[in-house]
Structure 1
Amino acid sequence: MNTQTTTEFAPILVADIGGTNARFALITDFNAQTNQFVIEHNLTFPSADFGSLESAINQYFSQISFPKPSRACLAVAGPIKAGQVHLTNLGWHFNVADLKAEFSFEQLEVINDFAAFAYAAPYLDDSQNMAVKAGQADENANIAVMGPGTGFGAACLVRTSQGSAVLSCEAGHITLAAVTELDRQLITELKKQLNHVSVETVFSGPGIAHLYRAMAAVKGVEAKNLDAAQISELATTGQCEVCDATLNQFCDWIGSVAGDLALTFGALGGVFIGGGILPRMQQRLLSSRFVERFADKGIMSQYTSQIPVTLVTQDNIPFIGAAACIHVKSNA
C-alpha cells in the first residue's frame, strides 16, 4: 500500500467524459489509512459546448488556480482501440499519444467507464453504498462490476500475486439464459421482438420496455406504448400490475445474470453493481429474489453463496477509478 504524504503525491487530472457532461477534477492526495483519494477542483461542463476534448481540458485548466498536473487519467463513455478514441455522440476523436504530447503529460491513461468502475472497487466507502447480499470477500481475489443503464456494462478487476489489472468485456451482448418457467415464456416473447435476446436487450433502459411488452404478452394483456420512466412510475404508484411485475422480474432475473458473471470472472472478491437504474430501485431490489437467484448455481451454489454483492450509490466513481488506475500503475 502506498504511504505517500501530501508533499510527495503528484496530483492527477481525472475526467469523466460522457455524451452529456464533461466532468473534471484533481486528485491531490491519497490517504493510505482510510484508503481514500482526495478529490478537489471538481468542475462540470456541458460536453456539447466544446468541439473537442482538448478544448474542454483547456477550459478546465483556465478555471482552476492550480499547477497543471503531470499525470492524467480520463474515463470515457466510448471504445478505445489502438490508442484512438471515438466519442460518437459528440463527434469527438482523439489520439492518446497526441493528447499526451499536447498537454505534456508524463503519464496519461484513457479507460472506458466500466474499467474505471472496476479500478474504483477496492477504494469504495462501505458506508456510502448498500449491501444487497452478505458474504465474505477474499481480498486477494477478482472483483466483478456490472450495471444496467443506457446499455449494460461489466468488467473485472483481476488480482494476482504479481499485481492487478482490469479486464474489459462485452458481457452485455451474451445470450440471456432462462432459469424459471416465466423466464422461458418471456424469452419466447422477446424473440418475437428481437433477433438476439442478449443481457442488454432486457437489462438496460430500453430493455425495460422490451421486458414490459413481453410480460404483457405472457399475461395476455395488451401492451401500451410505454418507456422505462413511465413503466417505473406506473409500477411505483400501483397503477399497472404488468409494470409492477416487469420491475419485479427485472430485479429477480438480474440476480441470475450477476451470479453468472461472478462465476465467469471468479469474483470471490465481491460483485459491485452500478449503472443508472438499480440505484433508483433499492427497496424493490432488496425485496426481490435477487439473492436467491444469484446463489442458485447448482453444484457451484456454495461458491456463489459466499460472494458479497454491493449496490454502489457513492458519487464520483469515475474519478475514483481514474485515480486508482494511475495509482496502481505508478506503484506496481
Structure 2
Amino acid sequence: MEEIPRQAIVADIGGTNARFACVDLENPILNEMALSKIAVYPCSNFKDLETAVRFYQREHALLVVKHVAIAVASLVAGDVVTMTNLSWQFSISELKHRLGLLDLHVLNDFVAQAMSLPFLSEHEKIQIGSGRVDARHNRVILGPGTGLGVAYLVPTEQGMTPIASEGGHIEWAPYTDQEWFIKQFLVKQYHHVSHERLLSGPGLENLYVALATFRGQNVDFLSAVEITDRALSQSCPLAVATVQQFLACLGSIAADCAFTLNTLGGVYLTGGIVPKLLPLIEGSEFRARFEMKGRHSSFKEQSIATFVLAVLWPGLIGAAGYIKQKIKGIAYDFA
C-alpha cells in the first residue's frame, strides 16, 4: 500500500503573480492556517513554470516534496497548457517528469478558487445586498484580475465537483446608451468584445478611455491601479464613473453566471480588483443589475446571495483542498 504523503506543494499562477505554499496534508482543518512557506513572485522573474517551481522548492528546502497541485490562469483541457495572459506553455506529463514528481495536478485557477468556498469562514465572505444561501445547491465564483475568471462548484454524492468555465470570454451585451457607445468604441479595437475586455485590469483602462471619449474629454492614460485609487479617494469624477460602470457590468455578468447553473448556493466575487472596491460597491448598481432579469421575476424572488471574498489565498486553499481530496479520498461536505 502506497504511503500517504504528509506534505504537498500548491501553487496559484496568474497572469501577473505566481503564488506558492506548502500544505500539511495531515491537518484536519483546511484554511490559511494550514498553509506554510507562502511565497509570491512576479511571473516575469521566470522564463517558464518549471523554473518558478524549482526556485520555490530550493528557496524553501522542499525538494523532497513530490506531490504538487498547480492552479493556472488558463483552460486546462489536455496535456499541453497555454497560459491565457502569460507567455508560458507546458506539457503536464513532461513537467511532472522533469521535476521528478510522483503526483502532479494542474487545474484552472478559478476551479481552485471554487474549491476554496466550503473552507471559508463567515467573516471571509462579505455579503453585498440581500439574498440567502442554500448550501445544497450550486455556487459560482468569478473575479476580475489580469483577466476574468469564472468557475462553478456543484454538490454530488462524491463531494465537491468543480466545473471550469470560460464565461469571461462570452460576448458582452450593452444595456444603456452609454454602454452601447462603449461597445462600439471597443469593437473598433477588438472586434469581439467579451466581458473580460471590461471586467479586468486592462478592462478598467478600456472603460476609462471609452468613457472619456463618450464625454468628449481628452485624458492621459491611467493604469487600473491609478483609476481605482482615484475613484476610492473621489479625486477624479471620470475614475469614479469608470468604476461605477465596471460594477454595473459586473452585476450583469454575475446574474448571467447565476442563471446558467441556478446557483442558489451563492455568487462569490474575488480577484485582485473587487475586494479593493468594497467601499464603493454598496452604493453602486451592482446588486440592482444583478436582479434586473426581465421576465424572470422568480430570479429576484429566489434572492440569490452575492458575496465578496475577504481572503488572501483562495486559489492556494482550493488547490490544497483539491489535492487533499485526490490523495486522501476525502469528500468534503457543502454545509
Q: Which bin holds the TM-score, normalised by the shorter protein?
A: 0.7 to 0.9
Paired position in structure 1 for 2:203: 207
When residues 328 and 288 of structure 1 are mapped into structure 2, their CA distance, relative to the original with a 3 A threshold, is same
- Cα deviation, 1:223-280, whole Å, max 9, x if unaligned, reads 4132233433443444433332221121123111111111113211111111221112
Picking from 307, 311, 325, the partner of 2:308 is: 311
The answer to whether the aligner puts 1:122 opposite 2:118 as a matched pair is yes
- Alpha-carbon displacement from aligned partner over 1:172-191 (angstroms, at most 9, x marks no partner): 22121233444344434444
Structure-2 change in CA distance of 1:105 and 1:288 (3 Å): same
The CA distance in 1 between the partners of 2:62 and 2:190, in whole Å, is: 52
CA drift at 1:167: 1.9
2:255 maps to which of 256, 259, 275: 259
Report the CA distance between 1:291 and its aligned residue.
1.2
Q: What SS does the aligned partner of 1:281 have?
A: helix
* Structure 1 position 301, deviation (Å): 3.7
1:210 match: secondary structure: helix
Task: Report the count of equivalent residues.
Answer: 324
Letter in 1 for 2:164: S
The correspondence for 1:289, drawn from 272, 285, 289, is 285
Evaluate the alpha carbon distance shift between residue 136 and residue 91 of structure 1 in structure 2; reply closer, same or farther with a 3 A threshold.
Answer: closer
Residue 132 of structure 2 is matched in structure 1 by: 136
What is the deviation of 1:55?
Answer: 3.9
Q: Does 1:176 align with 2:175?
A: no
Change (3 A) 1:166 1:217: same
1:48 CA displacement: 4.4
CA distance in 2, matches of 1:51, 1:206: 23
Asked if 2 retains the 8 angstrom alpha-carbon contact of 1:133 and 1:291, the reply is yes
Map 1:4-19 onto structure 2 (within 5 A). 10-18=6-14
- Displacement of 1:104 after TM fit? 4.7
1:106–1:140: structure 2 CA closer, same or farther, 3 Å change rule?
farther
- Please list every run of 5 or more consecutive structure 2 residues that lacks an aligned counterpart in the other structure: none
User: How far 1:103 moved relative to its partner?
Assistant: 4.4
Partners of 1:138 and 1:300 lie apart in 2 by 19
C-alpha distance in structure 2 between counterparts of 1:249 and 1:88, whole Å: 25
Q: Percent identity?
A: 35
TM-score, length-scaled by structure 2: 0.83
Q: Give the alignment of 1:77-116 within 5 angstroms.
A: 77-87=73-83, 92-116=88-112
Q: CA deviation at 1:112?
A: 2.2
Q: Which amino acid aligns with 2:116?
A: A
Q: Which amino acid aligns with 2:323?
A: I
Equivalent residue, structure 2, for 1:42: 38
Q: Deviations over 1:179-208 (max 9, x none)?
A: 344434443444455422321121122222
The answer (yes or no) to whether the contact 1:141–1:160 under 8 Å persists in 2 is no
1:325 is matched with 322
SS at structure 2 position matched to 1:269: coil
SS at match of 1:288: coil
Q: CA RMSD in A?
A: 2.9
In structure 2, which of residues 71, 77, 87 is the aligned counterpart of residue 75 of structure 1?
Answer: 71
Per the alignment, do residues 168 and 8 of structure 1 end up closer, same or farther by CA in structure 2, a change over 3 Å counting? closer
Classify 1:87/1:197 alpha carbon distance in 2 versus 1 (closer, same or farther; 3 Å).
closer
Structure 2: how far apart are the matches of 1:44 and 1:133?
33
Show the counterpart of 1:249: 245
1:224 matched to 2:230? no
Task: Check 1:198–1:63 CA distance in 2 against 1; reply closer, same or farther (3 A cut).
Answer: closer
Structure 2 CA distance for aligned equivalents of residues 203 and 147 of structure 1: 8
